[in-house]
Structure 1
C-alpha cells in the first residue's frame, strides 16, 4: 500500500493512510478467522488462489485479491491497476510491432543485389507505401490490393517496372519490383533456357498431340493436332511468337516427360536465385506461374548469355511448312523491327490475370539495360512504357554529358 501513497496526490495522503490501516485490519481479522475456520477457510482460500486475477498477476496480487475479496472498493482498485498495466503492455506491443516492421522494411535485402554482386542502388524508386509484396494481377486486384494506384514520375502504365544497368548492376528505376504476380508467357523464357541448356537435337521431329491443346484459356493455335515440326522450329515459334502448343509440346516430349520438365524449371530458378518464382507448366497460360520483376531481371540476364535464345527471341518473323501450307509467324514485340531500338533479347506475355507484360535486354545511350514491365493496362502500353524509359535514359545521358562537358570547360578555363 506504500506504493499507492507515493503516487497519490498530497491532499489525499491521510485518507489513503486510513484506508491502508483499515485494509490491514481487515487482512489481520480475515487471517485470524482463516486459522480458526477449519476446512471451510482452507476451501475458501483455495478457491481464491485459482481466480483469474491470481493466475494473471502472480502470487503477490493473488494474496491481495484473496485478502480483499468481498470488499468492492479494494477489488475495483486492483482491477483499475490491471487495466492500466494491460494498456501499457498493449502500447509497448504495438510500438514493438511497428518498430519491427520498420526495421524489416529498412533491412529487406534486394534479391537483385544478392544475386548480381556489385549492385549500386537505384536513382529512382517509387512504390505504394506498405506494398512491397503486392499481388497486382488485374483479376486478383479486386480481392487483394492493386498497386496501379501508385504514381511515378514517368507516368508508366505498368503496375510493375524495373530497369537495371546490366554491366554496373545499378537499378535505374524500380516500381513495385518485389510484387509477386502471374507472368503469362514470360514463362517461355525459362522454357527456352531449359531446352537450350539440355542440348537436345534441334532437328528431331515432334508431333502436336491432343495433350498440347489449351484447356485452361482455350487459346487458339495454327498448329493443329498431327502437325509435325522439328524441335528447333517449335522452340523458335514458342520464343518469337509465343506459340502455346509449341511450348507445351517441348515440355511434354522432354526426356522424363512434362512433370520432370517443370521440376527442372523450378530447380533452375532456384539456382539463379529467383526466390519469388514458381512454375507449374511451360506455356504461361496458368496464372499459377508467378514471379517478380526482380526475379525476371535475373532470368533475362541469364538468358541473354545464350546465343540461341538471343537469336530466336529477336527474330522479326519466321516461316514453317505445315503439310502443303507455308505459315508465316511474326514477333509479338514490334520493337524488334524498329531501327531506333537495339534489342538483344525480349519476351512478351499476356493473360487476363497478368496483364500485358514485357521483358527486354537492350542497348540505350551506350548502356546495356534490362527492362521489366508487368501488368500494363493496355495492349500497346507496355511498348509505350519501354519508349518512355528509353527517352528518359537518353535524356539522362545527354544531360550528364552536357554537365561533364561544362565541368571540363571550367577546369580548362581555370
Structure 2
C-alpha cells in the first residue's frame, strides 16, 4: 500500500511539473512575440514614410510672335559697315556751317520716318502764320486709325494752336499733330500738300508725306533730306524752343496735365541741343534728328531705323564721345 501511494504521488508531481513547464514555455513565447512586435513597431517608426512620386510639372511657354522687321532690316541695311559700331542702320553727322560730312551710313536710303514727320508739320503751320492763341478742338477725326495708338488728349479737349505745336514737337502727340493739319487753311489735304511742296523747295527729292503725324509708313525720307530739314527748322526760334523743352503743363478741362520730352538727352548736361525730334513705328524703327553743339562745332545729326529702345540715344552718345576725343582731329 505504501509503495502504491508513493507511485501515485510521484505521478502527480510529474504532471504538475509538466504543466508548469508548459505555462513557463507559453509565457516565454508570449514575451518573445511581444518583443518582436515592439521591435517591428520601432522599425516602422524609424523608417521614413514613402511619399507619392509626383510627375514633373510641365512648363507652359506662351508663344511669342516674332518682331516685325523694319523696312531697313528688310533691305538688309544691317549688313552695312558700321562706323563707331552704330546700332542705327542709317546715320548722318555733318557740320551745320560747312556741310562737311563727318560720319555717314546708308545716308541715301529712303525709309519711313515716323514722327520726324511732325517737324515738317510744325514748319508749314508756322509759315501759314495762323494765330498761335486760337483754340483748337480734338475731334474723332484725330483718333489714330492707322496704328490704334492711345492719347492723353481726349476727344473734346481744347488747346491753343501754340500748345498743340508744343505737345506735337516735345511729346510727339499724334492727335495734336493731326488737329494742326485739320485746322490748316484748306484742311488736312492742303496741309499735306504744303508739306510736300516745302520738301521740294528744300531740295528733299527723296521725301514724301501722306499725313501730318508720321503714323503712316508711307511718310518716307532719307538721312540726307532730313539733314536739310533740320538745318532749315533750326532757323525758326519757336521750333527750337518748343522741341527742346523738357516738360510742359497744359490745362485740360479742370486738370493740369504734365507732358514730357521723348528725348532724354534734352535733360543731359553733357548735351547742348538746339533742336530735336524723335520718332517710332515698327516699319521705321527708332529715329532721331538733332541739331547740337559738340566739341565747339554746330552739328546736324540723323539716326534712322534703330532696333533697340535706347540704341538711337546710344549712337548719339558714341558720336559725342568720338568727337570729344583726340580721334576727332585725326
- The TM-score bracket by the shorter chain reads 0.7 to 0.9
CA-CA distance at 1:149 after TM superposition: 1.7
Contact 1:160 1:177 (8 Å CA) reproduced: yes
RMSD (CA atoms): 1.3
Deviation at 1:145? 2.1
Residues 385 and 165 of structure 1, relative CA distance in 2, 3 Å threshold: same
Structure 1 stretches (4+) deviating beyond 2 angstroms? 137-142, 396-400
Pair 1:351 & 2:281 matched:
yes
Return the offset for 1:396. Answer: 4.3
1:387-408 deviations in Å (ceiling 9; x for gaps) = 00011111147755xxxxxxxx
1:242 to 159, 163, 172: 172
Could you report, residue by residue, the CA deviation over 1:73-104 in whole angstroms, capped at 9, with x for unpaired residues?
Answer: xxxxxxxxxxxxxxxxxxxxxxxxxxxxxxxx
Partner of 2:149: 219
1:366 corresponds to: 296
Describe the SS at the equivalent of 2:84.
coil
> Partner residue of 1:206?
136
TM-score (norm 1): 0.62
Q: Which residue of 2 aligns with 1:274?
A: 204
User: What residue in structure 2 maps to residue 140 of structure 1?
Assistant: 71
Paired residues, what number?
263
Instruction: Classify 1:398/1:165 alpha carbon distance in 2 versus 1 (closer, same or farther; 3 Å).
Output: closer
Query: Distance in 2 between the 1:226 and 1:300 partners?
Result: 33
Structure 1: gaps (5+ residues): 1-136, 401-414
Alignment of 1:104-253 (within 5 A): 138-140=69-71, 144-253=74-183
- Structure with higher Rg: it is 2
| Structure 2 residue runs without a partner (length 5+) | 1-67
Partner of 2:224: 294
CA distance in 2, matches of 1:171, 1:153: 13
> 2:254 aligns to what?
324
SS in 1 for 2:287: strand
What is the CA-CA distance between 1:200 and the residue it aligns to? 0.7
Larger relative contact order (C-alpha < 8 A, sep ≥ 6)? 2
User: d(CA) in 2 for partners of 1:378 and 1:153?
Assistant: 18
1:310 aligns to what SS in structure 2?
helix
Give yes or no for contact 1:365–1:397 (8 Å, CA) kept in 2.
no
Q: Looking at secondary structure, tell me which structure has more helix per residue.
A: 1
Contact 2:72 2:284 (C-alpha < 8 Å) held by counterparts:
no
> TM-score with structure 2 length normalisation?
0.78
Q: Distance in 1 between matches of 2:72 and 2:128?
A: 38
Query: What is the aligned partner in structure 1 of residue 48 from structure 2?
Result: none
Residue 333 of structure 1 corresponds to: 263
